[in-house]
Structure 1
């Protein structure tokens, strides 16, 4: 790893942990629409906000290099944060083998998209990020989240003339003028959902209670989330999968529904994605892929609500998003 490849601000210290590409591909995971806080600061180098701190990550062979800016963390703590965020204690190669043995279509995708794993994000950040994903695409969602953090979040530092902010606290989004400010930032109808969900959580289970849903059964966590303004089944499943440890959650939208029907031959009646069809599709993939069905879906289909650009519209250096083969 060459320090000159990092942002111009001098990092306190570069460290690394062993992590082969078969277990993690930063370029695929951080650009796939799971999180919207990472920026490719130079080719193969990613800078973003994690846990209220600014990080730069880069892979070199079987090593994951990382540094944290303006933070006093020892090596054990920084490694713990990264292992938790990328869920590195989960052996991905063995899962790929099992999914490929159960599903020939997955086997076709797996070789092109190695190292795609599910992130373990902060539940508050994940929830409000995915409320913004309805009828949206990754680049626009990323810009919206950036504006949200700049307007409501605490400033952390500035690298290469680019400011970085923490994700807003729940209290910051419950102000009387929050909805109006969000509309001024271009959130449209989502502004009501963001401010409304923030108030509902603050007046109800609180941020601690939201985190405690990690230990609740999947159906219970999903039910609680679906009671929030602007949270339907697919947003709830994204939050369950990406922040609440519900690896069996399979987010479904009309695109995933079409894949299930056309590629897998799942026979479901009707011309729309009804709640019953949604449940049946999720159950089908859970039976096919097993208890980590949501992880398998992250490889084989894009996350609902994060529209994948047509290949002809992508720049030549663009890395295909997982799911492009099946889609």
Structure 2
């Protein structure tokens, strides 16, 4: 991969395993908007970024070399060899081989942990349009203006909000979970800045200490913002997909699915989960509307 500055942009050339639609539309983030085919706007790390992809390049605007190297290079996980990962998880696995061939441009994002945590609490029992609407309302109400968008509010900007304030953003039952999360972050019971000092199990336990955070939400935060690639977030949808693809439609509990995934994909579980999620959702695998490849 190579990159260079051009006016108000940074252009990537010869980047492999990068498809902006597959990256943003695979359930790992919420603050994005599709402008047209392979052109998206995202809001992350207090910045608005437009990504335009063509057959042989990816352009980030507005962006300079400093921001690209300090923010977006890591955000889009550009230091990782996805071709090698695809080879590893597809060995002797025709199902995974099909999934990775279907969407070989997926990359795991490295999001800001605090924003990722609050966003996935909001995502519980919710649909994507409503999740995005609530997060946008939270940013517009408490965050810093970025022109036509607003940054996700920093902890100090929402540390005094009440459950009632959060209910006004139409969070519903999630308001009390967000309130508890803010309280625990504020008093240090949950300290994301020390995440690197904890192993994955202990970090998961700390996240689950927040009211309303179960293993699925904790695993999403671990995978999408804390680089714990061995996690395998499993909701009802992924459970059904795994049962259909790997267990002949036999019902399994979450622990059995996690054990199977860990044995099969090990340190690459998180990558496998994203390929399966996008593949199964796109083709409606395991549903009555399953499409032919």
Q: TM-score range by the shorter chain?
A: 0.7 to 0.9
Q: Which residue of 1 aligns with 2:122?
A: 132
Q: Are residues 1:200 and 2:189 paired?
A: no
CA contact (8 A) 2:26 2:277 kept: no
Q: How does 1:236-251 map to 2 (within 5 A)?
A: 236-251=218-233
Superposed CA deviations along residues 91-117 of structure 1, whole A, max 9, x for unmatched, are 111211221214211112222212111
Q: Which runs of 5+ in 1 are unaligned?
A: 1-10, 158-162, 271-276, 303-318
TM-score by length of 2: 0.88
Q: Which string of whole-angstrom CA distances, capped at 9 and with x for unpartnered residues, describes residues 8-65 of structure 1?
A: xxx9612212353x41110111122211111123332111212111111111223221
Q: Which structure's residues are more often helix, by fraction?
A: 2
Q: Indicate the SS of the match to 2:12.
A: strand
Structure 1 residue 79, shift from structure 2 partner: 3.1
Distance 1:19 1:168, change over 3 A: farther
Give CA deviations for 1:123-155 in whole Å, capped at 9, x if unaligned.
Answer: 000000000111111111111111111111111
Is the alpha carbon distance of 1:326 and 1:89 closer, same or farther for their aligned partners in structure 2, counting shifts above 3 Å?
A: farther
Find 1:111's aligned residue among 96, 101, 123: 101
**Partner Cα separation in structure 2 for residue 35 and residue 140 of structure 1:** 13
Query: Which residue in the other structure is 2:277 paired with?
Result: 301
Pairwise CA distance, 1:266: 8.1
* Larger relative contact order (Cα-Cα within 8 Å, sequence gap ≥ 6): 1
Structure 1 residue corresponding to 2:262, chosen from 262, 265, 286: 286
Task: Detail structure 1 runs of 4+ shifted over 3 Å in the superposition.
Answer: 266-270, 319-327
- 2:51 alignment partner, one of 57, 72, 81: 57
Query: Quick one: structure 1 residues 232 and 127, their matched pair in 2 at CA, closer, same or farther if it must change by over 3 Å?
Result: same
Query: Partners of 1:74 and 1:166 in 2: how far apart?
Result: 19
RMSD, aligned α-carbons = 2.5
When the two structures are superposed, what TM-score results if normalisation uses the length of structure 1? 0.79
Cα deviation for residue 178 of structure 1 reads: 3.1
Distance 1:323 1:234 in 2: 23
